Amino acid sequence: MPLPTKEFPIELKGLIKTFGEQEVLRGVDLMVEPGKVTTIIGKSGTGKSVLLKCLSGLMHPDQGEVIYRGTNLTDPHNRDYLKDFHKGLSYMFQHNALFDSLTVLQNIALPLSEKTRLPRTTIQQRVEEMVDRLDLEQSILTKYPSQISGGMQKRVALARALITEPHIVLFDEPTTGLDPVRKNTVYEMMKRYQERFGFTLLMVSHDIPDVLCISDFIAILDRGKVRFYGTPESLKLTQPPFPPDANGETFGLTNPFKTKILAYLT
């Protein structure tokens, strides 16, 4: 199968994932539009990160399909297709997952030095270019992740995710642990680079309403299912937007959460 391109959507059909007796994903259906920013929001423990991990191949769903270019990637017979799919996919972890014993240069260069036969000088050149594009200083290349700030670590992790020029980038709560100013900087940066590079961006977050500003599509995951999918604007047209459940919560989302969304939209 050719490597992922920007033209094709990723379709999730009836994904189920269970841990012991706890069913985390209970039949997730979702269409991730190509070249767009899709954000999955929802309370903690609703299976957002599990969904990303199922998509990235870090976890295998118990049931359901991940369809790309007409191929079901969860089918064990399509392992080669899945491998090719992953070559065009990058994952940015919640806590960056940078190698603390490697320098920033070695971290960013890792996917190229391990998976390609490019000469060292070419790899160094590409890393330096990427660092420039992400507005990082060249002087940090010789430093270790622990020697740079949290915001810089985020950008280094983003540089590592983008160095292979992926077509799909998955972000797992990219602003965890950052202050509100830095959060907005990271979101602004993600949107800017998504537009510049044109990749498909799928993000998990609960930063409401900040993520609504940069998202083309919103999916609300609650109790293992996608309860809403659409543009941020279409949230307003969903009337009544969120009927409360027996606990007075809306799709499992507390009222302040709903208020925040509505405050943003009105």
Partner 1 sequence: MISNLGRNFLLAVRDLGSVATFGMSSLAISVTRDFSIHKVSDQIYQIGVKCVPLIALVGFFTGMVLGLQGYYTLVRFGSEGLLGSAIALSLVRELGPVLTAILVVGQAGSSMAAEIGVQRNSEQIDALETMDIDPKGFLVGPRILAALISFPILTTIFDILGIYGGYFTGVIVMNGDGGTFWNGVQVSLLWGDIWGGYVKAFFFGGLTTLICCFEGFFTHLKSSAFGARGVSQSATNAVVISSITILVSDYLITSFLL
Contacts to partner 1 by CB under 8 A: 56-58, 83, 86-87, 89-91, 93-95, 97-101, 110-111, 114-115, 164
Minimum CB distance to partner 1 smaller for 52 or for 208: 52
**Nearest distance in Å: CB 226, partner 1:** 23
Distance CA 17, CA 25 (A): 5
Q: Is 149 helix (H, G, I), strand (E, B) or coil?
A: coil
Residues facing residue 16 across a β-bridge: 26, 63
Contacts of 193 (CB under 8 A, 6+ apart): 133, 134, 158, 162
**Nearest distance in Å: CB 170, partner 1:** 8
**Nearest distance in Å: CB 91, partner 1:** 4
**Nearest distance in Å: CB 105, partner 1:** 15
Minimum CB distance to partner 1 smaller for 127 or for 218: 127
- Residue 145: is the preceding peptide bond cis (ω within 30°)? no
Residues facing residue 146 across a β-bridge: none
**Nearest distance in Å: CB 113, partner 1:** 9
Minimum CB distance to partner 1 smaller for 3 or for 213: 3
CB atoms within 10 A of CB 11: 15
Minimum CB distance to partner 1 smaller for 42 or for 166: 166
Minimum CB distance to partner 1 smaller for 83 or for 192: 83
CB atoms within 10 A of CB 110: 18
Q: Which helix (H) or strand (E) holds 170?
A: strand 168-172
Alpha helices in 57-177 (DSSP H): 79-87, 104-115, 120-133, 150-162
